[in-house]
Amino acid sequence: MKKKVLLAFSGGLDTSYCARYLSTVKNLEVHSIIIDSGGFSGEELSDIKKRAQGLGVTKHYSIDVTRDYYKNCIRFLIYGNVLRNNTYPLSVSAERIFQAKAVARQAKKIGADYVAHGSTGAGNDQIRFDMIFNILIPQIEVLTPIRDQQLSREEEINFLREQGIQMDWEKMQYSINKGLWGTSVGGKETLTSDTPLPDDAYPTPVSKIEPAELEIEFQAGQVSGINGKKFEDPVEAIKSLNELAAPYGIGRDIHVGDTIIGIKGRVGFEAAAAILLIKAHHALEKHTLTKWQIYWKDQISVWYGMHLHEGQYLDPVMRNIENFLENTQITVNGTVFLKLFERRFEIQGINSSNDLMSDKFGAYGEMNLAWDGNDARGFAKIAANQSWIYRTINQE
């Protein structure tokens, strides 16, 4: 009997090569699996299944982890306003963890001898997949044909052509990963430091230019309404927001960052809903949280995002941080008002019953109602006391 391998399959060039190579060259019984983290339509999933079958896989599985992904990750990225290097909402970094977990579960279920993924040896995904597999299925060997053979995209294409496989080679110029929290785009332009991605490399064409008003409602830090429409399911709210804002070209950028393996890399991304939600949520928190809540959230959230980016999601300290982040969201309620323009947006203001900018206590720069001038004078003197003593003692 042939040994069985479960291949994490996206339908792109790398995983297409893996499917064919593992079946024809390594003589394995290849089972493929696509993990939908909120980025595929039913038609796209059907096309991916057909592609896998055309490459000779024995069986193809499709598993949806979107709501698990939101509940156990995305909402904490919103709570923490997590943007890596103040730019990237960790669109792919986060979803890879949940894809790897689902692959590990399925590998055990079907009794696979091996698991395989199409990561190269020069990126972050190889580490993320391998780490999760090492923790959850350490008894199953991991196969990585692209990494092990150090293949170029041209070499992969030539192999598939020799195998008689027909694909849209033009589309293979770019590596695209789609999920609920955004789409990443890699291509020849991102391999250099000076070249932007062309407009047609992004998945959503810019088709809206007329400015539009946008209202995003939050309840305990989670999105609960878009433009007056209530959503019981935040996943559906995110999808709706993305459909509304992506045609403006909002949420596009190129992230430059440090990889897990120590080199720097660039990746393009389109994440309209993620960027709008994080920025709107952050604006609401500035009104509803205290100075020290905001300060400690900033410190912890950066660390949480970095740990997630580097594949350390299963470390129990991540659950500790999530408990803290969730506890801070009790008063993060209200509506944020924005305006959308072509390729940009503005935050206009907020309305919240938990707004700490209350005129009951004073108006900044205008009137104080909870203290008088003598209170302020004494407060300033005490606050200055230690620095005054230091300067007096060490005046020479």
Domains and CATH numbers, the chain: 4-173 (3.40.50.620), 178-351 (3.90.1260.10), 362-393 (no CATH)
- Are the CB atoms for 165 and 54 separated by under 8 Å? yes
- Are the CB atoms for 211 and 339 separated by under 8 Å? yes
Residue type, 224: S
pLDDT score recorded for residue 395: 87
Q: Whole-angstrom Cα distance, residue 199 to residue 201?
A: 5
Closest CA relative to residue 32, chosen from 19, 23, 17: 19
Q: Whole-angstrom Cα distance, residue 390 to residue 396?
A: 11
**Rounded (10°) CA dihedral 319, 323, 324, 325:** 90
Kindly list the strands in the beta sheet with 222-226, ordered across the sheet, starting from the edge strand earlier in the chain: 229-230, 222-226, 212-219, 334-341, 344-351
pLDDT score recorded for residue 360: 77
pLDDT tens digits for range 166-177: 887 776 778 888
pLDDT tens digits for range 322-368: 999 999 999 999 999 999 999 999 999 999 999 999 877 767 767 77
Q: Whole-angstrom Cα distance, residue 272 to residue 257?
A: 20
pLDDT tens digits for range 52-103: 999 999 999 999 999 999 999 999 999 999 999 999 999 988 999 999 999 9
The strand pairing partners of 269, in sequence order, are 184, 253
pLDDT score recorded for residue 362: 67
Nearest 5°: phi and psi at 12? Answer: -80, -175
Q: Whole-angstrom Cα distance, residue 332 to residue 302?
A: 19
Residue with the two structure tokens 């992004």: 202
pLDDT score recorded for residue 215: 98
Confidence band of 396 (pLDDT split at 50, 70, 90) = low
